[in-house]
């Protein structure tokens, strides 16, 4: 069985440089999700997980629409500029990853975001993704304390660089869901929060030992040396299950490669991600024209068609994976 998870970071509309529009606009929420994405999802039986940033949860009209959407999971997505403590008034950009906050500040932002969601929707969120994928070494423990079931911030074969402080390196992380280690989110461990990585492969390296891959990051000398000896040389790159980042044929390559690898718990999980703003022209750095938006939607349709034709698939919400993998672990 192949479980398809579509995870969408839902934020206010932004521009080609990721700058927030003022007065704040939510075309991607009010138009893009119900009128462009949901008809596509209904056609292919997709149950999306919508990960809501704080400014979306604060919008009355967005919440009224979101809570009426059928067969969706709602979770949260932290952009710390939009929530106390140390909320930034009218931020132009939301590019501070939570790993840059002191632990007490990060925890309180997560707790406040959780409470904001619960006050709006009447239940606690169970699924989470960090803004800019920037987990700190404390985040997964904090999420467990706050009752979350699944995180989806890990991006295998990818390193995120932040100007002010260091890197967030996910090379060597599993590509299938796992219960992570408290100290290193790339390693399996015993934390109760399931990690469901965004589905990313490196075609030439996907079968390499994880312990070796954890010695690499995207600017390391190891990385440069390895690329030089691989077929294709420096042009080799990771492939995401993500429209716009990957062409339809590349996403199909990702699917087929992942399906060939033995799943650790008997279930193959494919976790596609993108932003809600990508289905509105000019609301992100990605599609800038209506024609490009249609290409984005058609790429998803092509992938969903392929999955239904070649695999036995079911679509689940992000937090549903916790039960699936907990059950598998109990019966091992």
Asked if pLDDT for residue 330 goes beyond 60, the answer is no
In this predicted structure, what is the pLDDT of residue 224? Answer: 66
In this predicted structure, what is the pLDDT of residue 71? Answer: 94
Return mean pLDDT, the chain.
93
Q: Coil, strand or helix: which one is 91?
A: coil
Strand partners, 188: 180
Helices 248-260 + 290-310 axis angle, to 10: 30
Asked if pLDDT for residue 67 goes beyond 60, the answer is yes
Higher-scoring residue by pLDDT: 224, 89? 89
Highest mean pLDDT among 206-210, 233-237, 272-276: 272-276
In this predicted structure, what is the pLDDT of residue 226? Answer: 72
Asked if pLDDT for residue 115 goes beyond 50, the answer is yes
- Locate 94 and state its tokens: 């939301």
Please tell me the distance from the alpha carbon of residue 111 to that of residue 23, in angstroms, as a whole number: 27
- C-alpha distances (whole Å) from 92 to each of 18, 21, 87, 225, 231 are 8, 8, 13, 39, 42
- pLDDT band, residue 231 (cuts 50/70/90): low
CB contact at 8 A, 306 and 255: yes
In this predicted structure, what is the pLDDT of residue 236? Answer: 74
Higher-scoring residue by pLDDT: 71, 1? 71
Average of per-residue pLDDT across 3-27: 97
User: Which CATH number does the domain housing residue 137 bear?
Assistant: 3.20.20.370
In this predicted structure, what is the pLDDT of residue 219? Answer: 72
Average of per-residue pLDDT across 280-294: 98
In this predicted structure, what is the pLDDT of residue 166? Answer: 63
Average of per-residue pLDDT across 127-156: 97
In this predicted structure, what is the pLDDT of residue 331? Answer: 45
- Locate 208 and state its tokens: 């390499």
CB contact at 8 A, 62 and 31: no
Task: Of 206-210, 231-235, 313-317, give the lowest mean pLDDT range.
Answer: 231-235
Asked if pLDDT for residue 228 goes beyond 80, the answer is no
- pLDDT band, residue 288 (cuts 50/70/90): very high
CB contact at 8 A, 85 and 105: yes
Higher-scoring residue by pLDDT: 216, 193? 193
In this predicted structure, what is the pLDDT of residue 164? Answer: 60
Q: Cis peptide leading into 209, omega within 30 of 0? A: no
Please tell me the distance from the alpha carbon of residue 178 to that of residue 192, in angstroms, as a whole number: 10
Please count the structural domains in the chain. Answer: 1
CB contact at 8 A, 213 and 205: yes
Asked if pLDDT for residue 304 goes beyond 90, the answer is yes
Please tell me the distance from the alpha carbon of residue 176 to that of residue 324, in angstroms, as a whole number: 12
CB contact at 8 A, 18 and 284: yes
- pLDDT digit string, tens, across residues 119-141: 999 999 999 999 999 999 999 99
- pLDDT digit string, tens, across residues 104-113: 999 999 999 9
Domain extent at residue 134 = 2-330
Strand partners, 240: 200
In this predicted structure, what is the pLDDT of residue 232? Answer: 60
In this predicted structure, what is the pLDDT of residue 216? Answer: 82
Average of per-residue pLDDT across 167-182: 95
In this predicted structure, what is the pLDDT of residue 233? Answer: 53
């Amino acid at each position: 069985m192949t479980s398809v998870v579509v995870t969408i970071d839902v934020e206010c509309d932004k521009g080609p440089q990721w700058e927030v529009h003022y007065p704040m606009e939510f075309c991607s929420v009010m138009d893009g999700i119900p009128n462009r994405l949901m008809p596509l999802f209904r056609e292919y039986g997709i149950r999306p997980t919508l990960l809501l940033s704080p400014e979306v949860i604060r919008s009355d009209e967005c919440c009224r629409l979101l809570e009426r959407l059928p067969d969706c999971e709602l979770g949260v997505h932290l952009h710390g500029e939009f929530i106390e403590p140390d909320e930034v008034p009218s931020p132009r950009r939301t590019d501070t990853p939570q790993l840059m906050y002191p632990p007490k500040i990060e925890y309180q932002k997560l707790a406040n975001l959780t409470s904001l969601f619960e006050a709006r929707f009447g239940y606690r969120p169970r699924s989470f993704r960090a803004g800019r994928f920037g987990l700190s070494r404390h985040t997964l423990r904090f999420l467990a304390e706050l009752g979350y079931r699944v995180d989806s911030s890990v991006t295998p074969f990818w390193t995120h660089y932040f100007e002010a402080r260091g890197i967030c390196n996910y090379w060597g992380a599993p590509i299938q869901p796992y219960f992570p280690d408290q100290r290193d989110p790339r390693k399996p461990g015993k934390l109760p929060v399931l990690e469901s990585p965004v589905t990313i492969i490196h075609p030439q390296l996907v079968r390499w030992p994880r312990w070796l891959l954890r010695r690499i990051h995207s600017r390391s000398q190891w990385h440069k040396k390895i690329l030089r000896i691989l077929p294709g040389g420096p042009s080799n790159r990771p492939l995401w299950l993500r429209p716009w980042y990957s062409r339809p044929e590349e996403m199909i390559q990702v699917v087929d490669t992942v399906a060939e690898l033995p799943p650790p718990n008997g279930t193959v999980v494919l976790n596609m991600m993108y932003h809600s703003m990508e289905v509105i022209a000019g609301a992100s750095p990605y599609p800038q024209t209506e024609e490009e938006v249609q290409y984005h939607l058609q790429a998803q349709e092509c992938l969903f068609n392929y999955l239904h034709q070649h695999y036995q698939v079911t679509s689940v919400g992000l937090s549903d994976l916790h039960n699936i993998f907990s059950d598998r672990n109990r019966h091992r």
